[in-house]
Chains A and B, each alone.
Chain A
């Protein structure tokens, strides 16, 4: 416990320094829309990335609890962590578990330095919730594979160093899927930007036309892609993102709220919920780390979390429009509020929709 407290203090020190030197401006949902490679590099240089990766590669050799502390502090501050987020959260653990020695040597030290930006290539135009319907195919070639097909909604592909592509190498449905690391930018990959409803470019349509991937860039085993992708998704579905994505906004709205506003109960409710979800999240992550998670805990956590995450936007609106405010909301609060409103619908969609997750939960309940 004391060590985790020390770590928390260290991260807070780093962030205080960043804020003092104007290193970043806070965002809502900062792991999705806070892209800043320079920030990720500074974080790596401060030794705050890859705390749960082995020391051999430059990591902290710690546990998921260490990473949780760092993640919490970064998200609570609204720090721009998108550039390294997917790489550190799901790509590195997957490389560590399934990668070759060469892949580990190449990628892990770079992830830990904050140099790597990874995109997740799962969804396709005709494979959303029904992910096993992916049609992108990989065909055997001399010394590697040719990949053809289209991925869509790929966050940050236009900025990434590589995209991990789930493609069909044979078989039906969940069988016969495999993962490939496709390096970007790449002459044989075309990337078309898709603006979000906010007008901001975020995700992409990524097109592969006989894109060659050497055997050295196959991730894990051929035919095990589904299992590996689900493991990676588990890392996305747990975590402190849900209870922290709007915290920078709520904090900014407290300025000028006064001591006895109409919305004090709404604020109390948010505080109650965050403390509660934080406990549940910690427990589930501990279990995930020790490998004995109940199958339904992860989807349960995500649906609870994302519904809460959306409700915080309504709370924010109540705080912003409180008739008893002692002063008007700041320009920063306005900016964060619109960011939160734009992002909110996606909370319950990305990483598996709540309907799909509830389907998984109910299967687990009914035996």
Chain B
């Protein structure tokens, strides 16, 4: 439909279609596991399903388009972190316990290491077999059976947990490579959320177009009212912006572009959810109707893995801390030390 159809090679389209089918099945998670979906984008040498970041983004976006809760993005991000550290990725559902900065303590890293501390807002930990957690200069794999979870629902009834480590044994660990700090991992999780947000932006554009053409008031479809038609155009703008942000990061996958993607898609989602609800009137507030499935997820994802204000400040400071901060060079050639 638009010039920004970033993911869509024929193969990716087929992948998107098959995921859409799986999502309508009662046991979607099993189907997706059996098809290797959670490990797309991870090299086969490390136990992944192969494919690149755009393939993984296609899968994650397709699930978001169906507003499905399967913790696939979480597994992809956590598994990819393991692979980046040269570790083997288990064929299991994984939870990324990532944060902007490290707060956990690792004891005895070179002997029988254990972890102590708490990480909050960990997605999908309740149904994960392992938790992947960066600590100090290490990346650790921990059995979920060895931690305590304090679970709550986010606005979309997705599960989030505080993961409490109390001298929790580490099952496997590796050194974080030099170019992979805690913030870099956090940005990778943020990018997964950005991809989900870009999917939701498209979904609510389509829902709203459909609704505005069907709902009649004053003897005509509300889409004929100029205000409503302009709202629809705005939703299309915001969806295109979201796609542009993802395309930027897929072209040059750096921490900075992941941060940018999260900032841009989150801000677009704030606008978009407001406008879409206005178009829908009371219908949008009903749990029986689809809109809320998307907007409640958006509101949660916007706050997840760094809200836009956090990433904007991070980007701004990174820019200003260059010896000669040049805006145009930083846009075309990258910020000094911009990491892939």
Binding site for B on A (CB under 8 A): 8, 72, 76-77, 247, 250-251, 254, 257-261, 263-269, 271-280, 283-284, 286-287, 293-294, 296-297, 300-301, 303-304, 355, 357-359, 361-363, 365-366
5 contacts between A and B (CB under 8 A): A251-B327, A272-B260, A293-B3, A358-B233, A365-B233
Contacts of B331 in A (CB 8 A): 271, 274-275, 278
Contacts of B320 in A (CB 8 A): 254, 257-261, 264, 267
Kindly report which residue of chain A lies nearest to residue B6, judged by CB atoms: A283
- A264 and B230 in contact (CB under 8 A), knowing A280-B4, A304-B240, A366-B213? no
**A-contact bits for B228-254, CB 8 A (1 contact / 0 none):** 011011101100110111011001000
Contact between A275 and B316, CB atoms less than 8 A apart: no
Contacts of A357 in B (CB 8 A): 233
Contact between A361 and B3, CB atoms less than 8 A apart: no
CB distance from B154 to the nearest CB of A (A): 24
In the bound complex, how far is the Cα of B236 from the Cα of A293, in angstroms? 16
Contact between A268 and B316, CB atoms less than 8 A apart: yes
In the bound complex, how far is the Cα of B332 from the Cα of A77, in angstroms? 13
Contact between B244 and A279, CB atoms less than 8 A apart: yes
Contacts of A277 in B (CB 8 A): 241, 244
Kindly report which residue of chain B lies nearest to residue A285, judged by CB atoms: B3
Contact between A361 and B328, CB atoms less than 8 A apart: no
Contact between B223 and A276, CB atoms less than 8 A apart: no
In the bound complex, how far is the Cα of B229 from the Cα of A355, in angstroms? 10
CB distance from A255 to the nearest CB of B (A): 9
In the bound complex, how far is the Cα of B326 from the Cα of A359, in angstroms? 38
Contacts of A304 in B (CB 8 A): 237, 240-241
- A294 and B241 in contact (CB under 8 A), knowing A361-B233, A365-B233? no
CB distance from A298 to the nearest CB of B (A): 10
Contacts of B232 in A (CB 8 A): 361-362, 365-366
Contact between B3 and A271, CB atoms less than 8 A apart: no
Most B CB contacts (10 A, CB to CB) among A272, A280, A284 go to A272
CB distance from A53 to the nearest CB of B (A): 24
CB distance from B262 to the nearest CB of A (A): 9
Contact between B229 and A362, CB atoms less than 8 A apart: yes
Q: Is B263 an interface residue (CB 8 A)?
A: yes
- A268 and B237 in contact (CB under 8 A), knowing A274-B331, A366-B232? no
In the bound complex, how far is the Cα of B313 from the Cα of A263, in angstroms? 8
CB distance from B183 to the nearest CB of A (A): 14
Contact between A272 and B3, CB atoms less than 8 A apart: no
Contact between A254 and B327, CB atoms less than 8 A apart: yes
Contact between A271 and B236, CB atoms less than 8 A apart: no
Contact between A265 and B241, CB atoms less than 8 A apart: no
In the bound complex, how far is the Cα of B250 from the Cα of A283, in angstroms? 14
In the bound complex, how far is the Cα of B244 from the Cα of A266, in angstroms? 20
Contacts of A261 in B (CB 8 A): 320
In the bound complex, how far is the Cα of B318 from the Cα of A365, in angstroms? 40
Contact between A284 and B263, CB atoms less than 8 A apart: no
- Having A279-B244, A280-B241, A300-B233, one finds 8 other A-B pairs with CB under 8 Å, namely A267-B315, A269-B308, A271-B331, A276-B248, A280-B240, A280-B244, A297-B2, A361-B232
